[in-house]
Amino acid sequence: MPVQAIAMITVTDKDVLGAYREKAAEALAKHGGQLVAADPAPLVLEAANDAPDITALLSFPTADAAKAWREDPELADIHALRNKGGKSTIVVLPG
């Protein structure tokens, strides 16, 4: 069953995050994921912590595919770019 994931990123290094963005779509596609929407200046209605600078909505065929994307050792360098370029929280929502 398809699922969505929300990625919320607080940018700490724009250049590194830019390098991540160049590789992100291909990494998502490896596990059937795709970017549905992204906003570099999201409207935040409420935030328990710092509001994110960037928010993205991702789609995966299953929750297992989303987990496989995040845990794929071949994508570790790409995930490291995201984590070096910002602080991220990624949450999967049930389909």
Span 29-61, pLDDT tens digits: 999 999 999 999 999 999 888 899 999 999 999
pLDDT of residue 47: 86
Alpha carbons 29 and 82: distance in angstroms, whole number: 16
φ, ψ of residue 89 in degrees (nearest 5): -125, 125
Number of domain units in the chain: 1
Structural domain for 85, as ranges: 3-93
pLDDT of residue 48: 86
Indicate which CATH number applies to the domain containing 44. 3.30.70.100
State the average pLDDT for the chain. 95
For 1-25, write each residue's pLDDT tens digit: 899 999 999 999 999 999 999 999 9
Alpha carbons 42 and 56: distance in angstroms, whole number: 9
